[in-house]
Amino acid sequence: MKVIINGGGLGGLGAAIALKKKGHQVTVLEAAPELSEVGAGIQIPPNSSRILCSYGLKDKFLEKVVWPQHFAFKRYATGRLLGTTPLHPHLSEKYGSPYWLIHRADFQGLLFDAAKDLGVDIRLGCYVESVNVDNPSVKLANGETLTADLVVGADGIRSKTREALLGRIVEPNPAANCSYRATVPVEIMSADPDISHLMTDINANCWIGPDHHIMAYPIRQGAMYNLVLSHPSGLATPGKWNEPGNLDEMREHYKGFDPVIRKVLTKVQSCLNWKIADLPNLPTWVSENGRVVLLGDAAHAMVPFLAQGAAQAIEDGACLAECLARAKDPSGIPALMRAYEAIRKPRAERVQQATRDSSRVWHLHDGPEQEARDVAFASMAATARDEKMDEALNKANPNSLSGREFQPWLFGHDEIALTNARLDEMFKLEK
């Protein structure tokens, strides 16, 4: 099949790899004239790394990633450890796939190179002006029109493909918070004895407090320290993550935080400001004729509190490729795209809601509810949690990454296997 993907971000490139490996003719249209080094760290949880490894990319990723040992949740003002979620080697052994940390630019670059090596036609500086749903095609800013058997909208939270598919603009839900993004080189971190330990303590540290949190961890195999700093309000554009931030304002937001992380903030030389936003649940991801579909942020943009935005986009691409592989000719595409939506939409929307729930729990003001949360967090790493401990943790955060039910559902998910099982069931096909 001939497939056009509008958008060359992580979701679009992941889908391009999956579709090309199934033998389709794939063109990716990306408005940016070149891949950007702007950005910061991103997490690759097991449900995503499982798919990436199945594409034969494990060795390439191992050259770029960091393997964190724990999520360490800390009291914002003192740095007191509240609880940990074990990551490596625990998750690798439990789910058969690793939890990685990587620079966003490295992630995108790896996918870009893999797609190019497979023969995907990637066109940079190629702005899509409009999408024709009735006759699946896109019109470019230069006046050229490209047609396809399937058009995939991977064009982000302000998707033009979504607007064409639904016939209206769906505005993002602005969250209560913005996030600053910043990095500090290892040379600067290691030169200060007050903070040098953060580069050798390979954990994802999260200081949580009233309306604020800081997530921080090493990336680029320990070459830099990555910071994500969530704070209330802000004037950044919803969903846009590369607007310059004000360093003085950033430091003012965290003046009551742990002296260790405040010392790190004195080393930051520039930052980006990102207005966090997500999307309401859409009525559909698939056009009426079944020839235009959405994936990633265009379909289910989510707030970043479970580090699942990119992971869910990678799942989308894997599912889409398995579905399209069952089409013998273009007439079979619509039913299979509806199957794609039926498989993916409920899971992505559950993750969306879970990220909102975690946002509330992390940002509680000091008081009885916060105290109950902190007590519950202390049980997260326990290997022999009893029913009472599980109940307390579930009450504090029903979508905790340490939750006995939620974690296996999230991390143990095998999108490719599940998609094929569901397709067999839906179409009663023999493997």
Residue 329 domain-assigned (yes or no): yes
Residue 157 domain-assigned (yes or no): yes
Encode pLDDT of 310-342 as tens digits: 999 999 999 999 999 999 999 999 999 999 999
Residue 341 domain-assigned (yes or no): yes
For residue 398, name the pLDDT band (cuts at 50, 70, 90): low
Average pLDDT, the chain: 92
Percent of the chain predicted with pLDDT > 90? 78
Residue 132 domain-assigned (yes or no): yes
* pLDDT attached to residue 237: 56
Encode pLDDT of 337-359 as tens digits: 999 999 999 999 999 999 988 88
Tally the domains of the chain.
1
* pLDDT attached to residue 430: 46
Residue 74 domain-assigned (yes or no): no
Question: How many CB atoms lie under 10 A from the CB of residue 182?
Answer: 23
CATH number of the domain encompassing residue 135: 3.50.50.60
Encode pLDDT of 360-390 as tens digits: 889 999 999 999 888 888 877 665 566 776 6
pTM for the full predicted model: 0.92
Closest by CA to 75, choosing from 341, 259, 308, 311, is 259
Residue 326 structural domain:
2-65+104-172+280-358+409-427
Residue 56 domain-assigned (yes or no): yes
Region 284-290: mean pLDDT is 98
Residue 227 domain-assigned (yes or no): no
Encode pLDDT of 164-201 as tens digits: 999 999 999 877 788 999 999 999 999 999 999 999 98
* pLDDT attached to residue 261: 98
Residue 228 domain-assigned (yes or no): no
